[in-house]
Every structure is written in C-alpha cells, then in structure tokens.
Structure 1
Amino acid sequence: MPFKPVVALVGRPNVGKSTLFNRLTRSRAALVADFSGLTRDRHYGEGRVGDYPFIAIDTGGFEPVAKDGILLEMARQTKQAIAESDVVIFLVDGRAGVNAHDHEIAALLRRSGQRRIILAVNKAEGMGMGATADFHELGLGQPRPISAAHGDGIVDLIELALRDLVEPEPEPAETDEFGDPDDADGESDTPPEGKFRALPADHRIKLAIVGRPNVGKSTLINTLLGEERVIAFDMPGTTRDAIEIEFERDGKRYTLIDTAGLRKRGKVFEAVEKFSVIKTLQAIEACNVVLLMLDAQTEISEQDAHIAGFVLETGRALVVAINKWDGLDADQRERIQREFERKLRFLSFARMHTISALKGAGVKALLKSVNAAHAAAFAKLSTPRLTRELQAAVEQQPPPRKGIFRPKMRYAHQGGQNPPLVIVHGNALDAVPDSYRRYLETRFRNAFDLGGTPLRIEFKSSHNPYAQDKDK
C-alpha cells in the first residue's frame, strides 16, 4: 500500500474544521453546525487532490490550557492527532480575528516539532488580503486565505501541505465487471460464480455499537483498541458523531462505529442531537452487524426495545451486550435476565452476553458472537437443501387450510443476504398465516445455523395460466 501522508486539522472551536474536513474527504462524514464544540473525537477520512491521496483528521475545538472535564479530553484527542500527523493545518477565523486561544495553539504547535505547519485563514471570502494581515503575529509563516464553505483556495492549500511528501499513485490496471484483470482479448478466463459470490479476503466487518446514552459504548471501543481512541466521559451525550475506526484482532478485520446514544424522541431538543440521531440510524443501516449495549445498572427501558426494533426492521445481524455486569449481585443479575427475556423476547435469534467494558470481562466471547452473526448474515443457502428442509417442515406440520384450499409449497431458494432471504414458491401462498411463517423461520434457522441474524421469508404463488379463461 502506498504511503499516505496524514493531515491534521487543528484550531479553536467553530473555525470551520469539520466543514474543511468534509470538503477534503468529499463526504458529509463530520457533523457541521453553527455551534461551538460540536466535534469532540478525532475523525479520520481519506482525501485526494489530483493524483495525491492523503488522510485527513478532524479534531475538536482545541483548548490547550483546559484543566479538567470534557475540554481536557478533547485537548488530549487533538494532541494525539498532532502527534500522528505529517502536516498540521492550523485553522483560524478570518472574520473573528486573532485571539488569545490562537496564540496558545500556535505556541503549542511550534513546540510539537512537526515538519510542516500551515496557517489557514478560513471564512476569508470577499475580504481580500486584509483577512490575513493580523495573523502574521502568530509567527507561523505566510497565512493562506481560504473558504472551507465555498472551496476557495482549498486545492492550493492541500498541494502546499503535501508538497515533497507523496508520489502520484500509479494508474490501476483495467478490470472487467467482476474486478478481474482483462485478458488481451477482453475476456476473463474465470466465469462468474453466480449471484452470491464469496466475500473478498480483505472484507471488513462493519460493527456499529448502539444503545442509550452512557451505557459504555465508547469505553468498550477503547478497551478493544487498548487506547483512549474516543472520549469516554461520565456524562450522557459525550459522543455526538458516528466515528469509524479500523481494527484487527485474531486475523479478522473490523470497522468499529462508535455512535451517539439514542434517547426518547420527546427528550431530543437540540438540533445537534437530532443530527446525531440521524447519523446513528444511518450507521445501523450501513453496517453488517449491530452490537446493542444495555446498562445492567438500570432497567431495560422502552427505548432499548425501540432501538432493537429498528435494528430488526433494517435486517442487520445483532449481538446484545449487557454492560456493567460486574457491579451486580446475584438477585440483580437474575432480575435483569428476566427483564431481557420478557421485554426483548423478539430478539431470541441474537446471542446475549454479560460484560464489563471497563475491565474487559467477556469482550473476547463478544467478538466471537459478532463473527458468527456476520457469517450467518452472509451465508450461502443451497437450493436443494432449502427445498428438502421445506418439504420436511411441511410433512411434519402442513400449513393450515383457508376455506377448502390448503397452500401448497413446492420449492425454496435463497433470494438475498444480510439478512438472508428465503423465497418459497407454490400455490395459494397468500393464505399462509404469520404463525406458519415463524415456524418455517425456526426450521431454516436451526437447519443452517443462522443464529445472530434475522431471517426473511417471502412467498411467491405460481400464476395460473387458465385463470383468464375461467373468468371468461
């Protein structure tokens, strides 16, 4: 893999770092609002200018002299981003002018020993050269006027940042529609393998960690990574964005997604929190496996059931983790297990684990269940075996009659993955009740070991070619 320089975006709150990050990565990965302190964790993304790729790091508003609280944790995240970077772009606000925070950050950057620090004056559209005049006093060289919102000066800024750091990427070889190198005659020697192809060897399991606020999602990610990668703070709503982190363990590659806590709709007041909820729901839809975290020290709430219901609707594979288990006595543990079976019984297909994210207890077994749920979600189901299992199920318990007719099931085949979809063909299948659909789901799940993933069954009735003649 070619070397990609790392560009860290640093500055005080509300100077436009996330706006610039989204423009560099050509995405909407970072939340943006006219609200200071919105970004808190480091956020990584891949950018490109012409043939030059790079990695950008978005950081929270930097308070170098913060002594405690969330501001101190945000400062630690920013300092770590500076340490990891090859180039630092120090962003300042051209309309607000220089202030004491800018001087503190400039002094820290000079002491950091970075090879290159570039001073970018944002929000300089329409201001001419006067936008940069005051910023010479920071002692970081020539200030560069830009507009992250409008794109003015961005290309020149990044080309300056990447100068002498990267080589242009070689052009990739032409490939056919299956991603295989073309032969001289334009045809591949290997025919396509069918509708459901094996996952590539470098496939990453996208794992979204969701739950109510303050259940320990960020703590679990830090425990898995063995470092303070995201801010874990004893305050609900610490995480606001959906942070993606690449991770590898025991030969398996993952993309961990730390999400904002989901509260009841009636308790979501701030516009920023509404955007956080949207990002969390989008993360659930985009991932392969969802890890639903519950708090053992509070009762399982209606909101937990709502979150689980949304995961079920999207069809994502699911693993449930009850966190803070180490702080309970035997009676409390028994009560939580009864609550889980009563309030979340519709998640019977998912594996449930009791863990302590802070101490790392139960985490290894948790990842094993994540791997198993992912494998089940992308399982290939043989048509002959599905049909045999369908026939055995019908022989043991035929579908109930509707009037004088009984639905007749002929064969079944796989219609999709993540979640697995089984399509059953036959006659008069519109009359099959939901109870019989659940019966077939259980038979197929047990036969193919599909624990950890929802299973969908679709009935398709054959068309009667003589129906029109009969109507006449």
Structure 2
Amino acid sequence: MKPTIALVGRPNVGKSTLFNRLTRSRDALVADIPGLTRDRHYGHGRGASKPYLVVDTGGFEPIVTDGIMHEMARQTLQAVDEADAVIFLVDARSGATPHDKIIANQLRQLGRPVYLVVNKAEGLRRDMAGAEFHELALGEPWAISGAHGDGVRELIEDVLEHFPDASEDEDARQHPKFAVIGRPNVGKSTLVNAILGEERVIAFDQAGTTRDSIYIDFEREAKPYTIIDTAGVRRRGKVDEMIEKFSVIKTLQAIEDANVVVLVLDAQLDVSEQDATLAGFALEAGRALVVAVNKWDGLDDYAKDCVRREIDRKLNFLGFAKFHFISALHGKGVGDLFRSIDQAYQAAMVKLSTPRLTRALDVITERQAPPRNGMSRPKMRYAHQGGVNPPVVVIHGSNLVNIPDSYTRYLEHSLCKLFKLEGTPLRVQYKSTDNPYAERKQVSVHPGRRDPVKPGKQFRKK
C-alpha cells in the first residue's frame, strides 16, 4: 500500500506548486491568487526511492464557519484524515502568522505525523529561513523552494523513511475513466458525489465553484474506475478571468484523457448552444458519450415533454448516446446512468476480428452498394480494426478515394448496429489498393517507327 501525504497550509503558500514538483506534472493550476485550489487533488509521487500518493488541498481556513472557504476547510480536514503523513507549508517571506498558529494547533490534535515545511526559501539561509517558525512547536522546520526544487528531494525522502518499502504499482490493466462535463452550476459536482456516495468534491450553489479537473480513483463492486470532475465551461465571450480560461483548457484535456464523457444538462434551463458545443468537443475527440439530464424531479409532465422535444431537436446528432433523466441531489437514476457508462466503455474498447468485420462489410454493401465514381464502382474487399476509443474500422479495396460522406455515415451506423455498439461513435477509414495498370509502362520508341525497340537490339544503317 502506498503511503499518502497531504499538503496543508493557508492560502497561497505554494501547495499546488509543490504538488506539481512532487508529481512531475502540471496537473494542479498555479497562479498568484489565494484560494485557487478548492477540492482535494490526488497524484502519484515520482522521483523518490519509494512510491507514494500526494494530495493537494485548498487553502485552510479553520476559523471560517460558512461559505466556500468553510467547504474548502472541510475538504482539507478530510484529506488529513485519509493521509498517513501531513506536510504543513508556511511562507518564508510572510513569516509566522496568527493563521499559521491556529492551523498548527489543529494539526497537533489530529494525530498524524506533521512535517513543518518553510516554502519560498530560495536565496535565504536555511537556518535563518526557518528560525521564527520554531514557535509553532512542530519540530525542526524544513526550508525548501517548491518552485525551484531546492531541498524537495531531501524532504520527501525523510518523510518516506518511516514507511515500509512498497513495490511500484505498474498495473497495466485498463479500467474505465470518465469525465463529467457541462455548463457551470448544472450539478456536475453533486453528480460526482452521488456516484461516489460521499461529499468528495465541493458542491456549492455558486457558478464556477470547481476550477480544476479533479481525478478521483474509486471502486464499485470491486471494479476500479477513475472519475474526473471538471470545471463548468461557458461561452467564449463570457470567459473573462485568466483562471477560468485555464479551467476550460483543463476540461478539454479531461475530455481527451477520458474513455467516456458524461454530459450534464440542466432540465430547468433551455438546451443552449454551449451544451451542443461541449457535445461536439466530445464527438470530435471520438469519445463515448452518456447524457445526464439533471434536476428532472423539479418539472411537471408538460415541462418534461417540452424538454424531451427540445433535446431531440437540438442534440439530434447524438443518436448513438443514451439519455438519462436524473436527480443527482436525491440520487434518482444514478444507478442506471452508471450502467450506461459501463456499456459505453465496453463499446469504445471493443475488439473486433478481421473475419467478423469482413463478413459484416459484405452484408452491409450487399444491402446498399457504394455509389459509382465515374465509370466504375468502388470495390470493398475486406476490413480490419485499426484502433479503439473510438473503434476504428479500416476498409481495404479499390477506387475508394471519392466515397461520399453520406455513405461513410451509413457504414458507421450499420456497423454499430450489427455489433450492438451503444454509446460510442465509430470511425471508418479507407485504404485503396494501388492499381498496377493505372500507369502504362514507358518504353523507348525509335524515331520514325511505331513499334517499340526491344532491349538489346540495334538498328543497322543500310
């Protein structure tokens, strides 16, 4: 079992910077803005002698009793409760603050090993950087620079020294990874908590509560999954703050990284152009898709009929996806939604043999042959699989260059129907076989003669 190390501290002391340094990634958003990180963010520690997990937390405000900062404090306390050790970060430039003393007192009562780390100590003598932090009574302070990496390796090796050796888990087993996307305040985080069965991410009645893409590993019926809670994406003209622009990029990266995308719609709002745009992002990336129409329990029968008609009209290009009408707040319909996620993942990762695909291709083309291209008709000889997530079918034959898009869509739809692939798009690619007689072989012809000169023969002058 890998030890888990939680990074804790007041806002803007460099926790996310240290998280990125330890995980050798850019997974956590970093900016000179207090309160940027809000949810717990897990990552695999790299570069140390032992494998471990590291948790980035939001700025710890233990004395706040309500609002978003209170929810962030709850997330931090839950991370500490799950952790095997705690790294308490303070700021060498700011010195020991009353806020640091309150956090130190609270951490001492939680019964976890605590390492006092003085960040932003670049350019300072280590003994001088940590001198005034002895009053926090948490042992010898470690002076580091998360931004430059000074002292970070020594710190993490000292923390891991007290844990037994554990082999690096390089399990290559594939497991479903699905991203929850949608506009702000449609209930994405509430749905994530309903799936997990706990308040794992902050669900707050305020648009833009989630700013980063949060990856969460969990098990359901002894099967591993990864769920990604993403930030709400607004129309481009409405995105003003730089942080929100970063959040949009993170959401698009999460779509690319996922196997299945869950698009959350708000049943009490009209289906907007932004909803269609997000669905288009997932479709362009070739991701399996499940649509969750949230807040369904707050509508009467007439309003429900109106919503269904509007979805059919504005999202008709998602004919392959399954639609679920749910209430994430009360957990209604979440179980059926999860079954569709499993089904879409299986369809996206399906393995199809060449004989099965070729027989299916014969059946489809016999039912509707490809249209003629000039004087000849395209000839499709055989098909094989060229990839997964999404499934790619490569068709070999002759004269396949100018097959119209309408026939390609017919092939894709027919293949999905024959192999019962629900919830995922399918891509068809063509590979034409070269015609050896397309260009006649060039031979030399003697001037004044119509017959070609045979190699080796010479003309004699009479």
> 2:85 maps to which residue?
87
Q: 1:434 to 1:80 in 2, by over 3 A?
A: same
- Runs of 5+ unmatched residues, structure 1: 173-178, 180-199
Matches within 5 A, 1:407-422: 407-422=378-393
Instruction: Select between 422-431 and 68-77 the one with higher mean Cα deviation.
Output: 422-431
> 1:151 maps to which residue?
149
Asked whether 1:450 is paired with 2:421, we answer yes
Asked whether 1:333 is paired with 2:325, we answer no
Kept in 2, the 8 Å contact 1:97–1:134? The answer is: yes
Which digits, 9 at most, give the CA deviation of each residue in 1:284-319, with x for residues without a partner? 101111111111010110001111001011101111
Which digits, 9 at most, give the CA deviation of each residue in 1:296-350, with x for residues without a partner? 0101100011110010111011111101111111111111111111111111001
> 2:123 maps to which residue?
126
Asked whether 1:229 is paired with 2:227, we answer no
Give, as a single letter, the amino acid of the residue that structure 1 aligns with 2:23.
Answer: T
- Distance, in Å, in 2 between the alignment partners of 1:228 and 1:170 is 29
Kept in 2, the 8 Å contact 1:316–1:454? The answer is: yes
Kept in 2, the 8 Å contact 1:49–1:158? The answer is: no
> 1:106 maps to which residue?
104
Residue 329 of structure 2: which of 349, 352, 358 is its match? 358
> 2:377 maps to which residue?
406
Matches within 5 A, 1:30-429: 30-48=28-46, 50-114=48-112, 116-128=113-125, 129-167=127-165, 169=167, 202-429=173-400
Which digits, 9 at most, give the CA deviation of each residue in 1:46-84, with x for residues without a partner? 214542222211100010101111000000001111111
Kept in 2, the 8 Å contact 1:7–1:87? The answer is: yes
The Cα shift of 1:98 comes to 1.8
Residue 432 of structure 1: which of 386, 403, 427 is its match? 403
Kept in 2, the 8 Å contact 1:51–1:169? The answer is: no
- Distance, in Å, in 2 between the alignment partners of 1:82 and 1:416 is 42
Q: 1:404 to 1:253 in 2, by over 3 A?
A: same
C-alpha RMSD over aligned residues: 1.8
- Runs of 5+ unmatched residues, structure 2: 444-462
- Distance, in Å, in 2 between the alignment partners of 1:160 and 1:424 is 57
- Distance, in Å, in 1 between the alignment partners of 2:370 and 2:3 is 62
- Distance, in Å, in 2 between the alignment partners of 1:390 and 1:171 is 42
Residue 12 of structure 1: which of 10, 13, 18 is its match? 10
The Cα shift of 1:168 comes to 5.8
Sequence identity, in percent? 62
Instruction: Select between 162-171 and 297-306 the one with higher mean Cα deviation.
Output: 162-171
Give, as a single letter, the amino acid of the residue that structure 1 aligns with 2:381.
Answer: R
Which digits, 9 at most, give the CA deviation of each residue in 1:160-186, with x for residues without a partner? 2223222264999xxxxxx9xxxxxxx
Give, as a single letter, the amino acid of the residue that structure 2 aligns with 1:130.
Answer: M
- Distance, in Å, in 2 between the alignment partners of 1:262 and 1:302 is 12
- Distance, in Å, in 2 between the alignment partners of 1:380 and 1:212 is 34
- Distance, in Å, in 1 between the alignment partners of 2:167 and 2:357 is 47
Kept in 2, the 8 Å contact 1:216–1:323? The answer is: yes
The Cα shift of 1:410 comes to 1.9
TM-score (norm 1): 0.90
The DSSP-based 3-state class of the residue aligned with 1:285 is helix
Give, as a single letter, the amino acid of the residue that structure 1 aligns with 2:45.
Answer: G
> 2:456 maps to which residue?
none
TM-score (norm 2): 0.92
The Cα shift of 1:470 comes to 6.9
- Distance, in Å, in 1 between the alignment partners of 2:182 and 2:352 is 32
Give, as a single letter, the amino acid of the residue that structure 2 aligns with 1:407.
Answer: P
Give, as a single letter, the amino acid of the residue that structure 2 aligns with 1:411.
Answer: Y
Instruction: Select between 411-420 and 445-454 the one with higher mean Cα deviation.
Output: 411-420
Q: How many residues align?
A: 442
- Distance, in Å, in 1 between the alignment partners of 2:114 and 2:407 is 66
- Distance, in Å, in 1 between the alignment partners of 2:111 and 2:199 is 23
Instruction: Select between 60-69 and 79-88 the one with higher mean Cα deviation.
Output: 79-88
The Cα shift of 1:99 comes to 1.5
- Distance, in Å, in 1 between the alignment partners of 2:327 and 2:387 is 36
Q: 1:164 to 1:389 in 2, by over 3 A?
A: closer
Kept in 2, the 8 Å contact 1:325–1:356? The answer is: yes
- Distance, in Å, in 2 between the alignment partners of 1:471 and 1:64 is 86
Give, as a single letter, the amino acid of the residue that structure 2 aligns with 1:248.
Answer: E
The DSSP-based 3-state class of the residue aligned with 1:41 is coil
The DSSP-based 3-state class of the residue aligned with 1:390 is helix
Q: Which runs of 4+ in 1 moved over 6 A?
A: none
Kept in 1, the 8 Å contact 2:265–2:275? The answer is: yes
- Greater radius of gyration (CA): 2
